[in-house]
């Protein structure tokens, strides 16, 4: 199937052609007609599946066909709520790309920077607002943002909202938007709290599910390296040199750890930087831009900071620390091997992390092959690093089902595409 067969208007098809897109991804092919018909949508898809276009394209068409070029003050008609600043910026860039010929105004707001530029842009209103929860709540409380005329609400990366502690803010925002609306809900996983939230805000949703979280890209070559914690830095340098890695995304569990790894790499002559929540917005954007431009060989990131970062032609992902949530492993390695390209994922595992590796193998339905190396951990070292039986792994899904606002409303009339 091609985009021409999805009933899209010429201004959008022209923009897609400029971007070089002719064939929709599976989630785009399934979701776009559903959204254009006015239905609520529950989309289960992880990063890298093309879900941003799956909601951005039909939103642009719906708003364009229903008074998109009206003069005067522009009320916010579509709200996209997303967990991180980086993802908000990327979604805004997508709306700019796909909507360059439809005459709709879009703005992005996020924390970590002065609000002045953002509020100045909002003075004359906007058709589409992309926002992170904290900054949106701030500007709503200050009277800069009004959502009374909202037609379409998108909750993106809902499970990450839960991980980052934003669900309370999300519920407060939902209480301020019209009940009569179209809601698009996207999440890579569906823990009980997220399932409850979806039930409370969706009305007779159509469900689309692609690339289940338990699966990993077929083209990604995965391997695990058993190594003592004290030798991880040496192993990282060994792999970068041995495999002549020119661009790699390295994951670790903590912000402090990310800074330490980047500092050690720079000490050894490798252009590297870290990206995490304690960095300023400008520092994060500069690091990401330098990585995209090839000025950095290695970008070290925590899971939360890296969510939504899309890098073309990324050859290697390295798990310096194994995640304690097995689904995070799938999200991490999915940053490589995109769009038909091959990819390589290396994972380091010390004695404390063997239980995490077991959970990952169970989730993906395969045993990641181990590779020998100069810093291989002995059985004695593994035993000394292993946690005691009394130590418990964090329960990633321990959360309360939300009370929710179980709002029901009459089924919306399908919007015309003509």
**In a shared domain, residues 68 and 199:** yes
Q: Which pLDDT belongs to residue 323?
A: 87
Domain CATH for 181: 3.40.50.300
Q: Mean pLDDT across the stretch 141-166?
A: 93
Instruction: Name the domain boundary from 157, 190, 209.
Output: 209
Q: Mean pLDDT across the stretch 294-298?
A: 93
**In a shared domain, residues 90 and 189:** yes
Whether residue 237 lies inside any domain: the answer is yes
Q: Which pLDDT belongs to residue 276?
A: 83
**In a shared domain, residues 162 and 227:** no
**In a shared domain, residues 243 and 335:** yes
Q: Mean pLDDT across the stretch 104-111?
A: 95
Query: What own/partner pairs with CB < 8 Å and gap ≥ 24 does 362-366 have?
Result: 362/326, 363/213, 363/214, 363/326, 363/327, 363/329, 363/330, 364/214, 364/215, 364/216, 364/326, 364/329, 364/330, 365/214
Instruction: Name the domain boundary from 149, 175, 209.
Output: 209
To the nearest 10 degrees (0 to 180), the angle between helices 10-19 and 85-98 is 120
**In a shared domain, residues 23 and 158:** yes
Q: Which pLDDT belongs to residue 404?
A: 39
Q: Which pLDDT belongs to residue 208?
A: 95
Q: Which pLDDT belongs to residue 305?
A: 64
pTM: 0.62
Mean pLDDT of the chain: 85
Number of structural domains, the chain? 2
Choice among 203-207, 274-278, 356-360 with the minimum mean pLDDT: 274-278
Whether residue 400 lies inside any domain: the answer is no
**In a shared domain, residues 35 and 179:** yes
Instruction: Name the domain boundary from 209, 231, 266.
Output: 209
**In a shared domain, residues 150 and 186:** yes
**In a shared domain, residues 178 and 230:** no
**Which pLDDT tens digit goes with each residue over 375-399?**
997 655 655 665 544 444 444 433 3
**Which pLDDT tens digit goes with each residue over 298-311?**
999 987 666 656 77
**In a shared domain, residues 55 and 85:** yes
3 state DSSP class of 78: strand
| Residue 217's pLDDT band (cuts 50, 70, 90) | low
Q: Which domain holds residue 344?
A: 220-385
Whether residue 403 lies inside any domain: the answer is no
**In a shared domain, residues 341 and 311:** yes
**In a shared domain, residues 202 and 224:** no
Which residue, among 99, 103, 14, 107, has the nearest Cα to 59 in the 3D structure? Answer: 99
């Amino acid at each position: 199937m091609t985009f021409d067969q999805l009933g899209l208007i010429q201004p959008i098809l022209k923009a897609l052609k400029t971007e070089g897109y002719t064939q929709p991804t599976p989630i785009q092919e399934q979701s776009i007609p559903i959204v254009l018909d006015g239905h609520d949508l529950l989309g289960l898809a992880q990063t890298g599946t093309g879900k941003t276009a799956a909601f951005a394209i039909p939103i642009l068409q719906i708003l364009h066909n229903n008074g998109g070029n009206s003069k005067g003050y522009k009320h916010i008609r579509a709200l996209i709520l997303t967990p991180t600043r980086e993802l908000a910026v990327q979604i805004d860039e997508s709306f700019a790309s796909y909507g360059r010929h439809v005459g709709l105004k879009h703005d992005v707001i996020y924390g970590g920077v002065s609000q002045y530029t953002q509020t100045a842009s909002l003075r004359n209103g906007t058709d589409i607002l992309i926002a992170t929860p904290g900054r949106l709540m701030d500007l709503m409380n200050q009277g800069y943002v009004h959502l009374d005329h909202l037609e379409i609400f998108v909750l993106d990366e809902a499970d990450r909202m839960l991980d980052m502690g934003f669900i309370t803010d999300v519920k407060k925002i939902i209480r301020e938007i019209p009940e009569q609306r179209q809601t698009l809900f996207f999440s890579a996983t569906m823990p009980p709290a997220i399932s409850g939230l979806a039930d409370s805000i969706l009305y007779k949703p159509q469900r689309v599910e692609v690339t289940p979280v338990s699966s990993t890209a077929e083209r990604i070559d995965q391997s695990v390296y058993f190594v003592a914690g004290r030798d991880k830095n040496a192993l990282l340098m060994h792999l970068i040199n041995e495999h002549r890695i020119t661009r790699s995304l390295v994951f670790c569990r903590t912000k402090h750890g990310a800074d330490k790894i980047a500092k050690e790499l720079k000490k050894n002559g490798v252009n590297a930087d870290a990206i995490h929540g304690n960095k300023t917005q400008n520092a994060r954007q500069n690091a990401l831009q330098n990585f995209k431009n090839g000025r950095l060989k290695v970008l070290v990131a925590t899971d939360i900071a890296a969510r939504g970062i899309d890098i073309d032609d990324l050859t290697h992902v390295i798990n310096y620390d194994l995640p304690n949530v097995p689904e995070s492993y799938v999200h991490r390695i999915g940053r490589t091997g995109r769009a038909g390209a091959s990819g390589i994922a290396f994972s380091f595992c010390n004695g404390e992390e063997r239980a995490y590796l077991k959970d990952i193998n169970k989730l993906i339905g395969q045993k990641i092959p181990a590779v020998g190396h100069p810093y291989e951990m002995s059985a004695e070292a593994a035993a000394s690093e292993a946690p005691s039986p009394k130590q418990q792994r964090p329960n990633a899904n321990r959360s309360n089902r939300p009370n929710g606002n179980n709002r029901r409303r009459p089924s919306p009339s399908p919007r015309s595409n003509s």
